[in-house]
A and B are shown apart, each in its own frame.
Chain A
Amino acid sequence: MKKLSVSLLAMTVAGSAYAADMGAVDEPIKLAINEWTGQHVTTHVAGEMLKAAGYNVEYVTAGMMNQFQALADGDIDATLEIWSSNVSDEYAKKVSEGTVVEIGDLGLDAKEGIAYPAHVADLCPGLPAWEALKDCAQVFATAETLPGGRLVDYPADWGTPGADRMTGLELPFKAVPAGSEGALIAELRASTERKSPLLITFWQPHWAMSAYDVQFVELPAGEEACFNDPAWGPNPNAVNDCDFSPSRIFKASWSGMEDKWPAAYEILTNYQLAVEDQQPMMGAIDVDGGKVEEVVGAWMAENEGKWRPVVDAATQ
């Protein structure tokens, strides 16, 4: 069977000496759709690339935290935007079992940090320098955190990076875990609308960065030494007295994908998407109300040079 399809392929695509085998073209490749818009864009671009290569693609909604069991069972074939800052222990477990394989970086340049909506700079002069937070903690104080200021941290299941920074830098802030992404956005929105103070752990690319004019606090650079060596950085007695370590965004697939659809596997492995490309599409969907299929379709038509070579390299 394999031989036959190879020879068929050789007949149809002349001169494809290094092209990968297409594999089971008539079975759909299932790509995970998680809960956030950036991921929808990433996945739909990849899906369109696979379609252009001649595959069937099926988009399957899947909870970000719960998708790895499905990936290990082959119920989902690939998931294309995993944030190293926010990946469940189950992922590592599945990778060590050998049922899930990592297939390279997505190339999205992500940044996480302590952030605030722009109007907060008026309430706490001296921002974005982090030292300013030492003196205006009481501006951010609330009933739960008195006398310290309040930092809205990631939901508890994403880890406690904000709280670690506050301890490392000895800032008089108490970190309150948000519980969900919706809660983080609601905080940003309420703060912007009421012009109230807010310090929050946040990340980009995210549509809310521009929608609520979110700025990052400038912290000492997040070098490796900062996380291991207490002597490093402004606080000689603690680790974590610096910015976040740069987070990676990568892709993963079911371990059987390479054999089942070799060319598709190659396309997804080589697939990259830049922040400059993803962020405008997210804006077009979340702010202007476009449909993800249309927005991605328009981008694909205009930017063929950015994705066609990856498809061609795998199929021709």
Chain B
Amino acid sequence: MTAITDIPAQARLTIGAKAALITVVVGALCLALEGIAPWLVKWPTAWELPATQWVGAFLDWFLNGIKPAMRLFSDLMTYPMDAANFVLANTPWPILIGLVTALGWYLGGLPMAALGFFGLSFVLASGYWTESMNTLALVAVSVPVALVVGGGIGILANEIPRVKNFVQAVLDVMQTVPTFAYLTPLLLLFGFGPVVGLIASAIYAAPPMARNVMLGLERVEPEIKEAAIMSGGTRFQQLFQVEIPAAATQIMVGVNQCLMAALSMVIIAAVIGGFNDIGWEVLLTMRKAQFGESLMAGLVIVVFAVVIDRMSGMLATERKRYDQRVVWAVLGFTVLFTAAFWLWLPNPSELTLLDPLAGAIDSGLTAFTQANGPWLDALKNNSLFYVLLPLRIGLDQAVLPFTWGFQWTPGMSYGLFAAAAVIAALMAWRGHLTGGLVVLILIGMLETGIANLPWPFVLTGAAALSYVAGGWRLAALSVGLLCTILVSGLWERALLSLYLSGAAVFSCAVVGGLIGLASAVWEPVWKIVRPICDMLQTIPLFVFLIPVLMVFQIGEFSAFLAICAYAIVPMIRYTRHGLVNTPAEMMEAAISSGATEWQIMRDVRAPYAAPTILLGLNQTILYAFAMLVIAALIGTTGLGQSIYLALGQADVGLGISAGAAMAILALIADRMVQGFAEERRKALGL
């Protein structure tokens, strides 16, 4: 570019273009100086601070200090735990099935009653009744704890608005730091046993409750609040007698989310042990690579999740009253049935009705891998050679004679950069300066590979994106947080995690977006997709690892698929939700102006749905990070592996630091996407 064309261009530079330009310059500088200053590419080990040791030493000191108090709490919690266990373990199974069926009727009539009955019958038939009751006991105690803590946090944030931002940050941390990272300190604090699992699941389950309480109280109509003030109630009375009842529906959504979150933590609690629950069964069968059996054990958790989700979901909606006599009839019949057949009731742990099914699934998997080996291998190899490897280590290292058929040379790099520059210049000339610069950046990243990106470039890029998405404060936050990863010596692992989850998020966005679109346009597709989404979200993720491993072996491609299987769900759901819920008046206006179906989709529905879809993307990013830890069981080499190493060696410092690094990456991505979503919403005037 000459100086003359530069001046007018400078005059109309948007914020995005400026940010992109700075990033390009820094990236180019790093590439040019790579030879003279290798520290630009790789953060020198000598500059790393022994942060993980410091964190470890501090935590050791801190944890030992509060240990006695926590042990006391732990001892106290064993009482409700034992009580719940005793009640559930000693209630005869027909009574429990009857109770749940009656509850189902009371909440939602025949469909709910049937759901409860068949759901629990499945659990009974699986032979995991005893283990399931242990699991339920854990959930029954951890959920009230989470509700009280979450509710307390929510009310606190509502009463003292100054702490709101801080509370939001704390909730984010509670949800994004992987549970595995803090299992070791929890063990140290609370001692061995089910109480640790209970606390871990309460930590994870409290934030949704807190968020919904905050949201509910915020949305209470000002008139209602004023009425409470005028009638002379104390603040306490206003809150508990007026505002909380007014927010009840939203709070019930929180209860529902809290229950689901607690159930999804069951398997994590099992890793510690101390409790013969259903999660432990999943782990045992996983260890033997018995897919059928682990799927059955996993499905038991899914059944609980679906029953609890649907029933507690009914609490959050206005519902009609069902005939109470049916409730009494069901309960009466159950008691009679139990009394009459008391001596003939089979011991639920002896039941093996589903074993043939488990065996069939297992041999089905075998037959599938045997029959489809060659093309599955080809799929894996091609994805690795042409997509994943270049993304990770860059074209300059991934293109080799036995992968692409030729050797990459520095000349090719120059050619590629020249081509990218030409494209960027063309786009700039056509008025898309920002777009052109972004293309230039992306091609540069593809040439170097995400794992080999120079750190100044990553920092500048993150700062630029954050600045565009949320202004100076977000940019400063991103850079500050990333710097803590840089000096702690976890940078390389963080980049590996970023690459794997980035690749997964991108694929999920494309594929999930398309499935969401298809589900929105075409109702039958959604009928098939919805139950699959439900299952993918609630079944313990471990269960999927076996078939993926059997088909694609240990390695990044398997991990990539496992992450995608989990993280694609929110993308599908939110895309469909956004596209379906276009306001009727906008649709009418479009139809009356004679737009075709596709024109409506492109020009009305899609722009309107953009903020919702961006939120879906946000959730997909968080899910992908959450799954990274599980994917480490397949053998990936990012932060997830560090967390496992730390768990195995009881290295509190490494575990917490790696967990924090993961949370930092997730948080930055979350804030950026939310920033963009906010901007879109403002643009749409919502």
Contact = CB atoms under 8 A, between A and B. Distances in A.
Contacts of A158: 648
Given A75-B192, A196-B373, A183 B549 contact: yes
Contact of A194 (B192, B273, B289, B369): B369
A189 B271 contact: no
Contact of A66 (B183, B369, B389, B635): B183
Contact of B273 (A60, A152, A185): A60
Interface in B331-378: 366, 369-370, 373
B633 interface: yes
A193 B384 contact: no
B546 A66 contact: no
Given A36-B287, A179-B636, A62 B273 contact: yes
B370 A187 contact: no
Interface string A175-216: 011111111011101100110100000000000000000000
A182 B648 contact: no
For the residues of B in contact with A, the DSSP-based class is: helix
A193 B650 contact: no
A297 interface: no
Interface stretch (B159-167, B276-284, B660-668): B276-284
Nearest to B275: A61
A70 B191 contact: yes
A143 B550 CA distance: 16
A65 interface: yes
Interface residues of A, number: 48
A110 B336 CA distance: 57
A66 B184 CA distance: 8
Interface residues of B, number: 57
A182 to B, nearest CB: 4
A177 B370 CA distance: 24
Contact of B403 (A70, A146, A185): A146
Interface in B596-641: 632-637, 641
B471 interface: no
A270 interface: no
Given A90-B650, A144-B384, A156-B644, A70 B274 contact: yes
Interface in B284-340: 284, 286-289
Contact of A179 (B191, B402, B554): B554
Contact of B650 (A66, A76, A147): A66
B671 interface: no
B193 interface: yes
A162 to B, nearest CB: 12
A179 B636 CA distance: 7
Contacts of A142: 381, 553, 555
A62 B192 CA distance: 9
B651 interface: yes
B402 A69 contact: no
B553 A187 contact: yes
Nearest to A69: B187
Interface string B527-542: 0000000000000001
Interface string A23-40: 000000000010111000
Interface in A149-165: 152, 155-158
Contacts of A60: 273-274
A69 B188 contact: yes
A286 to B, nearest CB: 7
Interface in A32-80: 33, 35-37, 60-63, 65-70, 73, 75-76
B634 A181 contact: no
B647 interface: yes
Interface string B546-563: 100111011111000000
A182 B289 contact: yes
B26 interface: no
A235 interface: no
Contacts of A224: none
Contacts of B546: 182, 186
A77 B274 CA distance: 13
Interface in B495-517: none
Given A36-B287, A89-B650, A157 B644 contact: yes
B649 interface: yes
Interface in B244-292: 271-276, 280, 283-284, 286-289
Contacts of B550: 186, 189-190
B553 A35 contact: no
A178 B389 CA distance: 19
Contacts of B384: 143-144
Given A35-B283, A194-B369, A176 B647 contact: no
Contact of A146 (B284, B400, B637, B651): B400
Contacts of B184: 66
A190 B369 contact: yes
Contact of B370 (A69, A70, A75, A193): A193
Given A88-B650, A190-B369, A190-B553, A70 B380 contact: no
Contacts of A185: 287-289
Nearest to A60: B274
19 contacts: A66-B187, A69-B188, A69-B650, A73-B192, A75-B192, A89-B649, A156-B635, A177-B554, A177-B637, A177-B641, A179-B554, A179-B635, A180-B287, A185-B289, A186-B550, A190-B553, A193-B369, A194-B370, A286-B288
**4 closest A-B pairs by CB:** A70-B192, A157-B648, A179-B635, A90-B650
